[in-house]
Amino acid sequence: MAIHSQLILFSLLSTYLLCAFGLGAKDGKKFRVIKLTSLLPSPLCSTPKGSNHHENQKGMLKLDHHYGPCSPFGHHGKPNLRQILSQDQSRVNSLQTRLFKARVHHVEETKTTTLPAQMGVSVGTLNYIITIGLGTPKSELRVVFDTGSNLNWVQCQPCAVQCYPQQDPIFNPLNSSTYLNISCASPDCSQLSSATGFSPRCSSASTCVYTTTYGDGSVSLGYFARETLSLTPSDIFPNFAFGCGQANKGLFGRAAGLLGLGRNTLSLVSQTAKEYGKVFSYCLPSTSSSNGGYLKFGAGDVPSVKFTPMLTNPTDNSLYFLQMVGISVGAQQLNIAPSTFASPGTIIDSGTIITRLPMSAYIALRSTFRQFMSNYTMAPEFAPFDTCYDFSGKDTMTLPKVVLHFGGDVEVEVATSGIFAFVNPSQTCLAFAGNNDTSDVSIIGNHQQQTFQVIYDLTGEKVGFGAAGCS
């Protein structure tokens, strides 16, 4: 009888522990069990199953990580992790400055060709490249894209002042029958101010001259022009307005230039609106070694995508703001007031890597995550990460699910690859960070966007998230 009572007591205690720590039948709702090898970078390029159907679709462009094994650039100039995180912080700082005008750089306009002061967001973290065609006959150029930028530009011959080294041959306007400079008197020239923050200049031949600069000192300056843009063999856009760069320097790697996917009238999104309806999407793969990612223009069929309202901030109406309302860890909604995110707001950005949260929200996330991970050995911090673990000698790991909550009852369960950042075999860190100031905007970075189809519908003023978007 005593043994029977002990068995009953043990059973009750086991049930209590399973429920208390979320390890019972509903374990799958709170936790994921993953192989640690899934967090390790691979030296080989891979194609995920089911991703080939993206090829040759209308408006669909394949994307690769700038420094991954699938990149045509190889590992030339690849930054280390500390450099990447430093560049990421530089972009965050420049976004905060741009939004809240904490620091304003005044540029003296002169007739001489000079490299101007830093105005826009940093570009060192623009790590995804696509291939476009420019000119007639077309020249294929590999460029980076950025939802935080508006102007489209490529380096152009004769590079009258300077060009940085790029992988593809530098575009030569003299080889194209459809190239046309835009005059200073054209209304298109006057639109540059809102897209770049700089008033256009006028060359001695009355050609419109653009200037665009970035928060890390990168710059492009040259002629504002029109040319035929080819996104796919069937998606061709004559008279596309772009910058033909004659003075260029900065952290663009070996890319030929930049496509701006912001909300300004000169962005690629606006210039192709008649064809695509101001809708684009992308899916960033879970690792830099995967070539299953894409950038797509146009709506298409998106039955599994859930949309949250796209907001506009009058401080900078070209960025994409969302209504973030909360965070859950292990199916437990954190005690964070929605007003925490409401002011100064939350943006989603393709160029920022690590998600930045209000410090109070980050502390709540970190505290709860550490509780769920208390069985694992913590490792030293690796700035900006302060919650790191040593998984040496382990094959698998159990970690709590992390869900971001947005307006419209939209829940985005962050992929495993988006929860952790791999530093080294004995140091894997929670891949979120807190803002330094209460006036700083929250930023949903691309690390937490991995594997989702992220849809920007400017006409419908909404942003959508679809799970398993790369497959």
Cis-peptide, bond into residue 165, ω within 30° of zero: no
Q: Are residue 319 and residue 211 in the same domain, yes or no?
A: no
According to the model, what pLDDT value does residue 101 have? 59
Q: Are residue 270 and residue 342 in the same domain, yes or no?
A: no
User: Of 258, 246, 199, whose CA–CA distance to 222 is shortest?
Assistant: 246
Q: Are residue 168 and residue 204 in the same domain, yes or no?
A: yes
According to the model, what pLDDT value does residue 418 have? 94
Contact between 129 and 104 (Cβ < 8 Å) = no
Q: Distance from first CA to last CA of the chain, Å, rounded?
A: 58
Q: How many domains does the structure of the chain reveal? A: 2
Q: Are residue 271 and residue 330 in the same domain, yes or no?
A: no
Annotated active-site residue 88? The verdict is no
Domain boundary, last residue among 276, 294, 312: 294
Q: Are residue 342 and residue 364 in the same domain, yes or no?
A: yes
User: Is residue 286 in a domain?
Assistant: yes
| Each residue's pLDDT tens digit, 190-207 | 999 999 989 999 998 999
Q: Are residue 55 and residue 134 in the same domain, yes or no?
A: yes
| Each residue's pLDDT tens digit, 10-50 | 333 333 333 333 343 346 779 889 888 887 777 778 777 66
Q: Are residue 283 and residue 310 in the same domain, yes or no?
A: no
Q: What gap in Å lies between CA 263 and CA 316, rounded to an integer?
A: 10
Residues of the chain below pLDDT 50: 1-26, 102-118
According to the model, what pLDDT value does residue 187 have? 93
What tokens appear for 260 in the block?
Answer: 């701006």
| Each residue's pLDDT tens digit, 264-300 | 999 999 999 999 999 999 999 888 877 789 999 998 7
What tokens appear for 113 in the block?
Answer: 């060709």
User: Is residue 208 in a domain?
Assistant: yes
Q: Are residue 311 and residue 262 in the same domain, yes or no?
A: no
Q: What gap in Å lies between CA 423 and CA 312, rounded to an integer?
A: 36
According to the model, what pLDDT value does residue 338 have? 83
Q: Are residue 94 and residue 194 in the same domain, yes or no?
A: yes
Q: Are residue 281 and residue 311 in the same domain, yes or no?
A: no
According to the model, what pLDDT value does residue 450 have? 93
Domain boundary, last residue among 249, 273, 294: 294
Q: Are residue 282 and residue 329 in the same domain, yes or no?
A: no
Catalytic residue among 64, 88, 316, 349: 349
User: Is residue 41 in a domain?
Assistant: no
Annotated active-site residue 146? The verdict is yes
According to the model, what pLDDT value does residue 56 have? 62
Question: What is the residue range of 95's domain?
Answer: 51-99+117-294
User: Is residue 11 in a domain?
Assistant: no
Written as one string, the DSSP assignment of 139-168 is EEEEEEEETT----EEEBTT-SSB----SS
Catalytic residue among 146, 168, 188, 316: 146
Q: Which helix (H) or strand (E) holds 35?
A: strand 31-35
Residue 447 is part of a domain; what is its CATH number? 2.40.70.10
